[in-house]
Amino acid sequence: MPVRPVSPLAIGGIVMATGLAGMVIGHAWGKGLRWGELISDMASSVGAELVAVSVTVLLIDRLADRREMVRLRQQLVREASSTDHGLALRAVLELDVRGFLADGALVGAPIGAANLHGIVLEGQDLHGSDLAGANLHRANLSRSNLRGCNLNGCDLSEAVIEMADLRGAHLQDARIDHADMAHALLRDTDLSGAGLAHSDLTEADLRGARLRGADLTGSVLDGVHLDSSTTWDATTRWPEGFSPGPVVVDEV
């Protein structure tokens, strides 16, 4: 006949009973069987043990909560990279509500090809993120930190990017037509082959930017900042009547 395993509850009961019996025997051996002192000693010992157990349980619970938050944050970042528009937007919204966005959940995150059409990420820190090929059509990225981001081939058409920090970002072959990029920081940004037609680049900082093959036809360049480090080639298309001035032309 097979032996049934002892349940954890039974083991706990046996251990507790053994411990209590040991306390009674130890007390009787050292002091005699005096019930008043025995109960007092047992109450003190049990009280101390309960405090220790409570602290341990609280610590374990806190660690479990922290692990769950880490797991949830990672899951939401993965969902934010989804090509499913509804899923991606819901994930970013929950990241924001839970305070994960403010804590930099998307900093350096690989969320390329994400469908974030119409997303509002105003003033968020996304520096170093991989958003290559992402759909950011009509997204609000004003005043956001996008330094060093990989935005190659992404769709930023009709997006609001005013006053955003895009220094050192990669926007090769990106679609950025009809976008609001006024006062954007685009220093050392690679805009090679990017479509910037009819975008507002009023007072944007394009010093050090690479504009080879970029299309800026119809764009507003009032007060735009260019210098000798800004480069373009013969295929770069400028707004009608705009003269880029005496800068070094990169024919490479």
Sign of CA dihedral 23, 28, 33, 38: negative
Could you write out the three-class secondary structure of 116-174?
CCCCECCCCECCCCECCCCECCCCECCCCECCCCECCCCECCCCECCCCECCCCECCCC
| Whole-angstrom distance, CA of residue 39 vs CA of residue 49 | 15
Q: What are phi and psi of 33, to 5 degrees?
A: -85, 85
Over residues 163-189, mean pLDDT: 98
| Whole-angstrom distance, CA of residue 246 vs CA of residue 141 | 32
| Cα 44 → chain centroid | 50
For 117-126, what is each residue's pLDDT tens digit? Answer: 999 999 999 9
68: Cβ contacts below 8 Å, ≥ 6 apart: none
Over residues 221-246, mean pLDDT: 89
**Neighbouring C-alpha atoms within 13 Å toward the C-beta of 56:** 6
| Whole-angstrom distance, CA of residue 226 vs CA of residue 91 | 39
pTM for the model stands at: 0.73
Over residues 115-138, mean pLDDT: 94
Over residues 46-75, mean pLDDT: 70
pLDDT band for 70, please (50, 70, 90 cuts). confident
The pLDDT of residue 252:
47
DSSP state of 246: S
| Whole-angstrom distance, CA of residue 220 vs CA of residue 241 | 11
Average per-residue pLDDT in the chain?
Answer: 83
| Cα 162 → chain centroid | 21
Residue with tokens 């403010």: 102
From the list 72, 104, 77, the residue with the least C-alpha distance to 92 is 77
Tokens of 190: 């690679």
Domains of the chain with CATH codes: 9-71 (no CATH), 81-252 (2.160.20)
The pLDDT of residue 183:
98
DSSP state of 83: S
